[in-house]
Amino acid sequence: FAISIDQELDFILEAANTGRFARAFADDPHIVAPRIYWEWTTPRVLVMEYIDGIPIDDIERLRRVRIDRQQVAERLLRAFLDQIFRFGFFHADPHPGNFLVQRGGRIAFLDFGLAGQISRDEQRTLAELFSATLTEDYERVAALWLDITHAGADVDRPAFQRDLEPI
């Protein structure tokens, strides 16, 4: 918790994370992050571009301006899959307050105080986890989750597997 708080309060780190994300999605017309004004940014002050948009959970406003919510959901999912499987770098605070939807369904990602990196091995494990989930191989799903979380030997693996099946 303390490490996360320190990271969120380090505005140079947040600015760097924002820039890294923006560069990764520079060729994607559907995903955007605020531009950082480095000349005024310090460890205690973060100055960035103002981005206008509708909060992603304001369904009524999205309807009123005729935003295709299915398309937005697909773009958001694609963006997270790209972060995990293409870039190995991801926005680690994905709550509705950190996403704005702009006209045309473009999604603005905000608040990069928490970001993470994922190794190639972790990417492979997650891909295997998705595959096992889609094929309903619950034994493999349970084994992968227990491996990812570094569960101890005292875990009741058969019970864990049974508990995963209805989920």
Q: Which residues are catalytic?
A: 93
Taking the C-alpha atoms of residue 29 and residue 32, their distance in angstroms, rounded to an integer, is 8
Q: Which two tokens stand for residue 104?
A: 């045309």
> Which residue, among 112, 99, 115, has the nearest Cα to 67 in the 3D structure?
99
Sequence length of the chain is: 167
Alpha carbons 11 and 133: distance in angstroms, whole number: 38
Please name the helix (run of DSSP H) or strand (run of DSSP E) that holds residue 115, with its range, or none: strand 115-117
